[in-house]
Amino acid sequence: MDHRQVGRLMNTEVVRARRTTSFREVVNLLSRHRKTGLPVVDADGKVVGVISETDLMYRQAAQDILQNRWYNRRRLTGRARADRARKRGLRAGELMTSPPVTIGPHQTVAEAARLMVTGKLDRLPVVDAEGRLCGLVTRSDLLKVFLRPDEEIREELITEVLVRTLGLKPGALGVTVRAGVVTLSGRLGRSSEVSMALRLAGRIDGVVAVVDQLGYEHDDAAEQHGEQIVRDRAQEWLRAPEEGAR
């Protein structure tokens, strides 16, 4: 169940700019490829920023302010000077938003979605361990996982979760999938198996929700809690001599 990695969804043919790409060239790239933003890379292919239509519009809207003599003569803080330089920028390296928010190809779709929501981003450059651009993932790319056919979801759930992970026989549980909503029915031996089946089912690509109609023969939750307490106390006991010797 490794579909949920960003590398599986990203676009590898990425339109990009260099630090030296001119304002007009960036506009042409966005228009020609019907993009609203693109990553900016250095000579080694490492992502150094992201430039969007918003950055370009910000620069153009600021031109009236820059014509104001008082604005140009007043004493500015370091941050204000950087802001003014950005407004005057004519190259991608001067106009881009930096540092960029990026993600790795082995990170999950959930992590990518969280970064986009918290950062109010429409796209994320995907980079390798050295920070080099290897792809791009957008909001629409993340939503594609919910377009999987119900039968494909059901097949993966039975094969990967019930049979391979939980060791059940095919047909041991009732499994239905409608519009991405999974319903599991039947009985399992232990309550912990029920929890695991529901949790893993919810992690499959395309699953919108999981309906629990499962029962169990034995409630082992209390036993597991007791075993955890014993393990924690044993660890404390083992650490005690070490701490006393310090």
**pTM to 2 decimal places:** 0.63
- CA 195, CA 191: separation in Å to the nearest integer? 7
Q: Is 3.30.1340.30 the CATH number for 148-221?
A: yes
CATH of 6-145 among 3.40.640.10, 3.40.50.2000, 3.10.580.10, 3.40.50.12500: 3.10.580.10
64 pLDDT more than 70: no
Mean pLDDT of 87-112: 87
**DSSP assignment of 41-60, as one string?**
E-TTSBEEEEEEHHHHHHHH
Mean pLDDT of 39-49: 96
Task: Break the chain into its structural domains and give their ranges.
Answer: 6-145, 148-221
As a whole number, the mean pLDDT across the chain is 83
What was the pLDDT predicted at 58?
Answer: 73
pLDDT band at residue 70, thresholds of 50, 70 and 90?
very low
Q: Are 130 and 41 in contact (CB under 8 A)?
A: no
* Tokens read off for 84: 């003014």
Rounded alpha-carbon distances, angstroms, from residue 236 to 8, 173, 226, 231, 241: 43, 41, 16, 9, 10
16 pLDDT more than 80: yes
Q: What percent of the chain has pLDDT above 70?
A: 76
118 pLDDT more than 80: yes
Q: Are 96 and 40 in contact (CB under 8 A)?
A: yes
Q: Are 46 and 131 in contact (CB under 8 A)?
A: yes
196 pLDDT more than 50: yes
Q: Is 214 left (phi over 0), alpha (psi -120 to 50) or beta?
A: beta
pLDDT band at residue 216, thresholds of 50, 70 and 90?
very high
